[in-house]
Amino acid sequence: MPLVEHLRELRRRLVIASLAIFVGTIVGWYIYPQAFDFLKQPYVDGIQPLLERKGFKAELVLNGGVASAFSFRLKLSLAIGLVISSPIWLMQLWGFILPALHRNEKRWAFLLTATGAPLFAGGVAVGYLVLPKGIQVLISFAPSSVNVLLSLSDYLNFVIRTVLVFGVAAEIPLVVVLLNRLGIVSARQLAKARPWTVIGIFVFAAVATPSTDPLTMLFLAIPMTFLYLVSELIAKFTDRRKARGIPDELDDDEASPLDD
């Protein structure tokens, strides 16, 4: 395909993706109350025990000017729109890239996408579940004689950052398996580096989690360690296949043994 045709194809797919995001943002604008209640629930679950035990008042406040309420709703609606329209704009992205890939590359691209999406969703779900405990620990440092007023924008950024950290951390098996497939690391190297890797995982969990309590850190570090061990087993299986000379796939231009 000539360069001009590539640019036209890119423009067409960008328009489709933009329209999908725009429609998703409109939907997000209408379901904003339900989405806001969903995001606020970890705050309610994390603060309510402290309200009953310590007796101080904690509130979410929206500051920043007259248009801050509109800006916050628009920001949240856009985030919802990106999530809702993700199947469409991801399809457009893959539709532009896949024609340039070989058959075996397409297969691995689909496999990595199909595996990465559930892993990321699972990490986000775990992050959402541990949010109340993290908020509770952080708010507990406030003196009992003061009211706690939290910025709504800061709270939303805290929630998004927490769930994204957990979601990205869940992608460890894909990264390790991909490095092994590319021949950068072997299963023996992964096993040899296991103690240091586990230490690094716990250090990452301690630094990456917005809350500083050890329970939230363990909720992130333990699944990451388990996923790393699983990816190590997959790498070991792949190396054994390579050692026995069993090809994982044939190149598009390579003749199969039946053609010899």
The domain ranges of the chain are 1-163, 171-245
- Residue 60: strand pairing partners: 150
* Selection from 172, 166, 168, 176 nearest residue 219 by Cα: 166
pLDDT number for residue 260 = 44
Handedness of CA 131, 134, 136, 141 (dihedral sign): negative
Query: Which long-range contacts (C-beta less than 8 Å, at least 24 apart) are formed by 90-93?
Result: 92/13, 92/14, 92/16, 92/17, 93/13, 93/17
Helix (H, G, I), strand (E, B) or coil at 13: helix
* Whole-number Å distance between alpha carbons of 84 and 24: 6
pLDDT number for residue 121 = 81
pTM assigned to the model: 0.68
Amino acid identity of residue 137, one-letter, is V
Q: For residues 7-29, b (16+ Cβ closer than 10 Å) or e, as one string? A: eeeeeebeeebeebbeebbeebb
Q: Are 241 and 234 in contact (CB under 8 A)?
A: no
Which residues in the chain come in under a pLDDT of 70? 1, 46-58, 64, 98, 100-102, 104-113, 142, 144-147, 182, 209-213, 215, 245-260
pLDDT number for residue 37 = 86
Report how far apart, in Å, the C-alpha atoms of 15 and of each of 25, 96, 97 are: 15, 13, 16
Per residue in 83-114, pLDDT (tens digit) is 888 778 877 777 777 676 667 656 666 666 67
